[in-house]
Every structure is written in C-alpha cells, then in structure tokens.
Structure 1
Amino acid sequence: MPPREIRQVGDRGAADWYTALPPITRGLLTCYLVTGLAAFMGVMPLQYVYHSWQLCFKRVPEVWRLVTNFTFLGKPSLGWLFQLVWLVQYGGAYEQAKFASNTADGITAVAVGMATGMSLDLLSYLCRAFLPPVSLFGFIKLNGRHLPFAFLALDLLMGQDIWSDVMGILMGHMYWFLTDVYPVASGRHVIQTPRWLSRLCLQHGIGRVPIQAVNPINPSDVRFRAFQGRGRRLGD
C-alpha cells in the first residue's frame, strides 16, 4: 500500500481537515479525544490507566501503565481543550518541519521521549525542540525552539505545576541530543529508526517513508526478509 498523501481541506470541511493532519499528530489527537470523552462518560476505568511505580513493581507487575499513562490527557475541560489546540497547531508544525519525509523517525522520537520521561520519573521516585517560527496566541512572535520555555513561563505565571513542562523539555531535547549533537561529536549513532518500523509505515501507508530507509540495497524491494535465505532440497 503506497504512503498516504496529505490532502488539502476541501468540501468535506472537518473530515478533510482531520485527514490533512500529519499522521502522528492525528493519532495523538484521536487518542486523547477518545480517552478524554470515555473518562468523561465513565466508560473507561482510570484506575487501570494512571502511572504508579508501586503497581509496576508489585508481585504481578502492571507493566501496561508504562504506556497507558501517555494515552490520557485528562477529562474534557478548558485546559484540556487548550492542550489539544496546541498539539494540533504547534505539534503538527513540528512534525511537518522535522519528520515530514520520514514518519518512522517521528514515531521513534515519540518512543525515545516516552522512555526519557519514564526514566526521569523513576529517578525522582527512587531518591517541545526545533520548530519553524511560530506565533503564540497570534500576538507574540518567537522562534519555535523557544516555544516550550514560553509555555513553562505561562504556567509559572499562572501558579501551575511546571514539572510536566520541565519533563517535556528534557524529553524533547534528549532525542535532539542523541540524533543531532552526539553523532557529530563522537561519530557514533546510538538512536536509529528500526528498519521494520519504516517498512511497517510504508506497507500501511502511514505518512511518508523513504524507500531507502526500508531497503537501501534495492529500493524497489520492500518485502519482509526475516526468514529468507538460501534454500536446500532435502534428499530422498
């Protein structure tokens, strides 16, 4: 199945707008809408979603909490709505600027961010990156790399908890450091997008994936090769 092409908003209005969103942004928006509305209607048991190291470390570990806590943004509220708007406006712009040519790299960046966030949270339990120029609320012009710090300052001024903003900044900069800074300084790559992930995105038409990322030797061949090899006929 060929990669899905991003279409412009047309006569269908909201449907075309939703389809035109970058794939990762569209997936996160859908996830947060579904979980938020499900929690609001009382059909999703939140006690099985939230993150708790005590529950993860008990005799029968509930390891799914390491992932499910990233799928829930909260119940519908004004703050919840603002976060969804920021996800679409700024997250979508970041995805188009950074990962428009390779959605698999974007998925890897999200996975690295999740792992970094869990590592930071575990550390505390035991003892937003490069964007094009953006306009904050349509009034303040600033460079995209400064946007996470602007949100942190807003939360600080409003007296809200800024730990989530700090963690978000660290999570985003960890991927940037391991993929852009460390390889240049050391000549080694510690973060590489798995080829099977690139192949999976290509086969299911998720965003755009360069063919060379799937099979650099023969770009026209995208078949799965895990169990292929030189065959031998068994004797009688």
Structure 2
Amino acid sequence: MAYQTLSNEYMNMPPVTRAYTTACVITTLAVQLELTSPFQLYFNPILIYKQGQLWRLITTFLFFGTFGFNFFFNMIFTYKYCRMLEEGSFRNRTSDFVWMFLFGATFMIGFAFFVNLLFLGQAFTIMIVYIWSRRNPDVRMNFFGLINFQAPYLPWVLLGFSVLLGNAVYVDLMGIAVGHIYFFLEDVFPKQPGGFQILKTPTLLKSWFDQVEDLNYMRLPEENPGGFEWDEGQRAPEEPPNDNPPQ
C-alpha cells in the first residue's frame, strides 16, 4: 500500500519537477554508493573548457551533498516550490518552464566564473522559491511553526536559516539575484509603459515540449503540493486567490 501511494505520488508529479528531482536523487545516490565522486561533478571552468567535461555544467545543479539534513532540506524545498510553479503559473506551459530553468542555470554559470562556487543546486532552489514567492505575494507562510510572514519574505528567511547552518551567504544571494532578474524581465518590465516581452521561449523548445499536453498528473492545491504542511502557505482572507497570475 505504501509503495503504491508513493508510486502514484511520483507519477502525479508534473514532468519537469519529476525529471529534475529524480536526477538530483539519482546523482546523490550514485555518490553515496561510490559509483561516482563529487570531484567528477563539481563546476570547474578549466576542466570544462580544456578537457571538454561538459557534463559538469549539468551535474553542478544536481548534487546537494550526501544524504543528510542539508540534502533532505534542499530537496523538500526544491520539490515543493518547483512543483507549485509548474502546476501554478506555468500550468500547461512546459516549454516556458524549461526556458526559465535554462535562463537561471545560464546566469548562475556566468556568475560562477567570478566566484568560487563548486555546486549551484542550492542557489537554483532559492531562485525557484524567489520566483514563486513574488508571484504569490498574498500567501501567508509559517516556517516550522516559529514565525509567520508573507510569501515574498520566504527567500530571506531561508537565507537566514542557511547562515545559521553555516552555509555561505553568497550562495543564497546568487539565487535571489537570478530569481529577481527573471521576475523583473518576465513579470515587471513588459507591463511598464513602453515595455515589451524580452524572454521569449525559443520555437525549438515549444516544438519539443508543447506538442502534447501532459495529462498523466493531477493538479494539487498550489499552497500544499504533496501534502507537506510544516511550512504550508495560506492566502490572506482579505485578498482573492491568485493561483494563476497573468504573465
């Protein structure tokens, strides 16, 4: 019964979220079983450029450390907010969601050339959280039952928590910065006087991902995908729901 429940939950995940979280778990499991080493996964411009180890451009986003609190903490947030974005404002827009992934990853790799960052998965998670939080400003959050706040403060709460865990502050700041750049270019600038759409999803991505609608998963409530309640968001009663804000 438990296996069937987990299997159904897994298959109900939207495709991009399912693919990304699965890749993260498989990568970590491979390191745990000593099938590969973090030294073969981390971002290294010299090895990428001179030895053609292009896989590092991808694996740097897939490894959150060996199994432990930091891994599970990051994976829960990655799964939850990635899924909420994909089932919310990116509903039936898989190509646009993939384009957001590529945009964020490209910017972070560019930043990584100037700062000494080996793995970018945590920054990528913060970027996802930031974009979701700005698109759902009226959601009230409760973090581990300790503090209440509105959704736009969530990335900063996570930054503070990350600092308490001893992580480098610039990792989360990079995720916030890239998330803000995407949010500004996609949601803010086009609505300004004289503004226009800058981030247009390439036709190639649309032809790959938008030919057939994925009907193999059902949409869960945006505030509580997967049944997690420990930091469940709740919309302010004085504001109408805004599950699918206009782009």
For 2:82, the equivalent position in structure 1 comes to 91
Separation in 1, partners of 2:160, 2:37: 34
**SS of match in other structure, 2:177:** helix
- Which residue of 142, 149, 152 corresponds with 1:135? 142
CA displacement at 1:205 relative to structure 2: 4.7
**Cα separation, partners in 2 of 1:207 and 1:149, compared to 1, 3 Å:** farther
For 2:16, the equivalent position in structure 1 comes to 24
Separation in 2, partners of 1:72, 1:103: 24
For 2:198, the equivalent position in structure 1 comes to 190
Asked if 1:12 is matched to 2:4, the reply is: yes
Residue type of the alignment partner of 1:152: L
**Cα separation, partners in 2 of 1:144 and 1:97, compared to 1, 3 Å:** farther
CA displacement at 1:190 relative to structure 2: 2.3
Greater gyration radius: 1
Residue type of the alignment partner of 1:120: F
Separation in 2, partners of 1:207, 1:55: 41
- Which residue of 91, 96, 104 corresponds with 2:95? 104
Residue type of the alignment partner of 1:35: T
Task: Say whether the 8 Å CA contact 2:92–2:213 is kept in structure 1.
Answer: no
**Cα separation, partners in 2 of 1:18 and 1:70, compared to 1, 3 Å:** same
The 10-residue stretch of structure 1 (75-84 or 153-162) with the greater mean CA deviation from structure 2 = 153-162
Asked if 1:69 is matched to 2:71, the reply is: no
Separation in 2, partners of 1:35, 1:197: 25
Task: Say whether the 8 Å CA contact 1:22–1:207 is kept in structure 2.
Answer: no
Instruction: Give TM-score, length-normalised by structure 2.
Output: 0.70
Residue type of the alignment partner of 1:172: G
For 1:201, the equivalent position in structure 2 comes to 209
Task: Say whether the 8 Å CA contact 1:116–1:174 is kept in structure 2.
Answer: no
**Cα separation, partners in 2 of 1:207 and 1:68, compared to 1, 3 Å:** farther
CA displacement at 1:138 relative to structure 2: 4.4
Gaps spanning 5+ residues in structure 2: where?
Answer: 117-128, 217-247
Task: Say whether the 8 Å CA contact 1:103–1:207 is kept in structure 2.
Answer: no
Separation in 1, partners of 2:215, 2:153: 27
For 1:160, the equivalent position in structure 2 comes to 167
**SS of match in other structure, 2:132:** coil
% same residue:
26
Asked if 1:53 is matched to 2:45, the reply is: yes
Q: Output the aligned Cα RMSD.
A: 2.5
For 2:156, the equivalent position in structure 1 comes to 149
Separation in 2, partners of 1:183, 1:80: 37
Q: How many residues align?
A: 196
Asked if 1:115 is matched to 2:106, the reply is: yes
Cα deviation digits, residues 55-95 of structure 1 (max 9, x gap): 2332x433332222112222211210111111222332233
Residue type of the alignment partner of 2:10: Y
**Cα separation, partners in 2 of 1:19 and 1:148, compared to 1, 3 Å:** same
Separation in 1, partners of 2:90, 2:17: 11
Gaps spanning 5+ residues in structure 1: where?
Answer: 1-9, 209-236
Task: Say whether the 8 Å CA contact 2:95–2:209 is kept in structure 1.
Answer: yes
**SS of match in other structure, 1:12:** helix
**SS of match in other structure, 2:148:** strand
**Cα separation, partners in 2 of 1:100 and 1:144, compared to 1, 3 Å:** farther
